[in-house]
Amino acid sequence: MLKVWGRNNSINVQKVMWTIGELGLAHERLDVGGPFGGLDGEDYRRLNPNRRVPTLQDGDFTLWESNAIVRYLAAAYGSAPFLPAGLHERARADQWMDWMTTTILPPMTTAFWGLIRTPPERRDVVAIERALEACTAAFVLLDEALEGRDYLVGEALTIGDVPVGCATYRWYAMPIERPTLPRLEAWYGRLAARPAFAEQVMIPLS
């Protein structure tokens, strides 16, 4: 049975858990990180020297880094179209996974931590506003990229949708003003209708 180390409100853990849900894999998730602690012990360090979440154990195989785990699970237990069979389609899925990390995640982290996990009197309002502007630009680009397709790589969900979808949930769940982006909203609606996404990603922000 798969074992996942990480708290369920971590966006990186959510990528892994959504993937596990889509693939219908038996698993056990252990709460570590954040208020649960447990990252500083030597046992966890041996699993993940970064002392971060998530960490995956599949038998005697251990893997960390959420995008790598998503790719591994799709390759080990999935099939096309979730793991695209074509070289170009697979590359596009990888492109969107990396884009989330390089383009959306940095400003999203600033905005999310500033608005959700920082008391109002301690917020850096300027930094939050700049982060939201960067997020808006990224989501406008995403809306344009979704023209003529249901998902990021075509007509079916792929690994490329997973990291971006997790970030998009936070975008729509945060108490902010957002531009109207019809293609993005339609894509997000399709994600929200998937049971694994609703169960593993759409949990209250805290």
Map out the domains of the chain as residue ranges.
2-77, 87-199
Residue 63: beta bridge partners?
Answer: 56
Residue 15, C-beta contacts closer than 8 angstroms, at least 6 positions apart: 66, 67, 69, 70, 162, 163, 166
Q: Let me know if the fold of 2-77 is the same as that of 87-199.
A: no
CATH number corresponding to 87-199: 1.20.1050.10
The per-residue pLDDT for 200 is 98
CA distances from 81 to 7, 132, 154 (A): 29, 33, 10
The per-residue pLDDT for 75 is 98
Model confidence pLDDT, tens digit, residues 61-77: 999 999 999 999 999 99
Cα 43 to chain centroid distance, Å, stands at 26
CB count within 10 Å of CB 150 equals 15
CA dist., res. 78 & res. 84, Å (int): 10
**Does pLDDT of 206 surpass 90?**
no
Percent of the chain with pLDDT over 90: 99
Model confidence pLDDT, tens digit, residues 7-44: 999 999 999 999 999 999 999 999 999 999 999 999 99
Across the beta sheet with 61-64, the strand order is: 27-30, 2-5, 55-58, 61-64
Q: Identify the residue whose tokens are 């990528």.
A: 15
The per-residue pLDDT for 105 is 97
Domain at 2-77, CATH homologous superfamily = Glutaredoxin (3.40.30.10)
Band (78; pLDDT cuts 50, 70, 90): very high
Report the predicted TM-score, pTM, of the whole model to 2 decimal places: 0.96
Percent of the chain with pLDDT over 70: 100
